[in-house]
A and B are shown apart, each in its own frame.
Chain A
Amino acid sequence: MIDLIHDYYAYWAIMLLLVVGLYGMLMKKNLMKKVIGMIVFQNSIILLFVTAAFKWDATVPVLKEGIPGDVSSNYLNPLPHALMLTAIVVGVAIVGVAFALLIAIYRNFGTLEEGELTERMKGE
């Protein structure tokens, strides 16, 4: 059991982040906090990709003299990092749209609290 925690501690941390983010998105009543939860959630997945690409005793994927490039254990796999750059960009775009929507909601109803929002929408 201790080994399971010790060997995979990074994954445990990522799982915790994932659950925290998901909880924030689904359970928090304030829309802003939902967005914060969303950011935590997305970043936990980005961390998962990056962590999975990690290898002990390997270096950054830039060919260096003295370290043969044809042995895959010498260099990290750059693909997950490249993918996550794209995912970060996508994530920023989503957060941007989310903020734009929050501004529109606040202009229309003057609140970002779920309960008040439902009340005011009924009053329309």
Chain B
Amino acid sequence: MDPWVHLAVAVLLPPFFGALVAVLFPARRTNLPWIAAVVSCGLAFFASVAGLIYAVTEGTVHYHLGGWEPPMGIELVMDPLSAFFCAVIAGVASFVFIHGKTVVERETPEKVIPFYSTALLLIGGLLGIILTGDLFNLYVFLEISSLAGYALVAIGDKRAPVSAFRYLILGTIGASFYLLGVAFLFMETGSLNMRDVAEIIPIAGDSPATVAGLILIVFGIGLKMALFPMHGWLSDAYTHATSTSTAIIAPIGTKVAAYVLLRTCFYMFDPEYVRNEIPLTTIIGFLGAAGIIWGSVLAIAQRDLKRMLAYSSISQVGYIALGVGLASPYGMIGAVLHTLNHAVMKACLFLVNTNILERFRHTHIPRFDRTYRIRMPWTMAAFTVSAISMIGLPPTAGFFSKWYLVLGSWERSNYLFLAVIVISSLLNIVYFFRVLEKVYLRTDGEPYDDRNEQEDLALKREEARGSMLFPVLFLAVGLLVIGLANAFIVTTFIRPMIPDGL
């Protein structure tokens, strides 16, 4: 057997081993849990990048766990789509972990070991959802990642357990509806292997049970994805959790649900069928469009930076749903590229939020002023780059995913989606420029004179420490690199993902 086939399992194992290693040696005053987290996420990242290159050049990897052939056994599938998502998740998680070293030790000193262990279980569960080729195995990984997610959200301020509980109730409803949908598909097709199901559905014909199964799956996953109007749990969960918990869950948690949506709608079912026979993707698209506007409007209303970013996550997930809703090659490119972009920029923004919180002890936007840019020039520069990317101005990454979505909407003559993308970019300008204005422009109306200059000169630079600054800068530079290299990423990696019939 080709040894490269083992790359599929090499992505999945490091986080789970890391989670074990982190608790096995609970020696105080060592950085072992942190090292385990960074190393295992780094390994998973390199394995997924190698897997992505392998999948693009040599073809899809099917790894049969324990040597059992599907449909009896469970298989891991590493095609360009799954390898790409794994690379995004493991890569972003590595940077968040590097950044988290001092933050976790300060915010939750007595819970360092459980924190890294649960966070690695979360990453492992998310990678499992992406890699598995089995519907029920996906449910199990979904619950592994969700349970770890509830625990991570619950480690936070006094109100965190309440928001974690609400998240748990809604998350369980979502996962259970997914399981219900799987039950319907299983009854109809007699198989749980995704490839097998995809082959049987056209033979079994158009039955109400299959359609009901798909709708239940989409509904359950939509809840996990915080698709409008099922987004209620997200903002509280993200706001009350600790900085590093939020930074690890927010950029990647909802993306994985979006991946499941792509997988079920376009790979397991015939895209033509999902688009035309049952207008499911259209509904997803419209919900996404509504979520984009709603999330942006609520983000404008927030006065706390972290809460604003949480609401902006709802709107950004809407873009991915909108790309799925277009059900066209451009829509798919836009959705996948936006997953990468949003993961990088949201991670960067949440890490900047943490740096500001560490230095100034608050993230209340009305209290921001121009001293911030003098005291933390690099952090604020990274914030500016990611804000510009969120708004979608070239040459940052955010522009290009929106551009593909615009092309897709144009191609489908869907002018409503086009209008939504443009309006939401304007709304993004409103809520990000209000921060940038406070930091970079004077707002109190006085002219800038010598006295101000003296004050500014007297301020010392108090930039965040190296371990917290490096990931932020790297992600910010990454946004520019992704933006400039978008044509390469799209033609090399995303084009081969597009399934037949889309």
Contacts and interface: CB of A to CB of B under 8 A. Distances in A.
Interface stretch (A1-9, A60-68, A98-106): A98-106
A102 B161 CA distance: 8
Of listed A52, A105, A109, residue having the most chain B CB within 10 A: A105
Interface in B146-196: 147, 150-151, 154, 158-159, 161-162, 164-165, 168-169, 172-173, 176, 179-180, 183, 186-187, 192
Interface string A21-45: 0100110000100100010011001
B178 to A, nearest CB: 10
A33 B270 CA distance: 42
Given A42-B176, A87-B179, A101 B165 contact: yes
Given A25-B173, A45-B179, A97-B151, A108 B158 contact: yes
A19 interface: no
Contacts, number: 72
Contacts of A94: 143, 147, 168, 172
A10 interface: no
B183 A121 contact: no
A97 B173 contact: no
B136 interface: yes
Given A87-B179, A117-B162, A42 B150 contact: no
Contacts of B154: 100-101, 104
Interface of A is mostly: helix
A105 B176 contact: no
A121 B180 contact: no
Contacts of A93: 143, 147
A124 B176 CA distance: 34
A19 B150 CA distance: 24
B169 A90 contact: no
B162 A121 contact: yes
B89 to A, nearest CB: 22
A97 B180 contact: no
Contact of A34 (B139, B140, B169, B183): B169
Interface residues of A, number: 32
A83 interface: yes
A31 B192 CA distance: 35
Nearest to A108: B158
A49 B139 CA distance: 14
A31 B166 CA distance: 9
A90 B137 CA distance: 12
A41 B180 CA distance: 11
Contacts of A87: 139, 179
B173 A22 contact: yes
Contact of B172 (A38, A83, A105, A124): A38
Given A31-B165, A38-B172, A117-B162, A101 B150 contact: yes
A117 B420 CA distance: 38
Contact of B161 (A25, A49, A108): A108
Contacts of A102: 165
Contacts of A49: 183, 186
Nearest to A34: B169
A106 B183 CA distance: 36
A49 B169 CA distance: 22
Contacts of A108: 158-159, 161
A76 interface: no
A90 B140 contact: yes
Contacts of B186: 49, 52, 80
A73 interface: no
Interface in A53-96: 79-80, 83, 86-87, 90, 93-94
Contact of B168 (A42, A90, A98): A98
Contacts of A20: none
Interface centre among A26, A52, A83, A109 (most CB of B within 10 A): A83
A48 B183 contact: yes
A42 B183 contact: no
A86 to B, nearest CB: 6
A41 B161 contact: no
**Among the interface residues B151, B158, B172, B187, which one has the most CB atoms of the partner chain A within 10 A?**
B172
A97 B150 contact: yes
A101 B176 CA distance: 20
A117 B165 CA distance: 12
A44 to B, nearest CB: 9
Contacts of A26: 169, 173
Contacts of B159: 108, 121, 124
Interface in B85-139: 136, 139
Contacts of B150: 97, 101
A100 B165 CA distance: 10
B176 A41 contact: yes
Given A94-B168, A101-B154, A101-B161, 9 more contacts: A38-B169, A49-B183, A83-B192, A87-B179, A94-B147, A97-B150, A105-B162, A109-B158, A117-B162
9 contacts: A25-B172, A41-B172, A45-B183, A79-B192, A93-B143, A94-B147, A104-B161, A105-B161, A105-B165
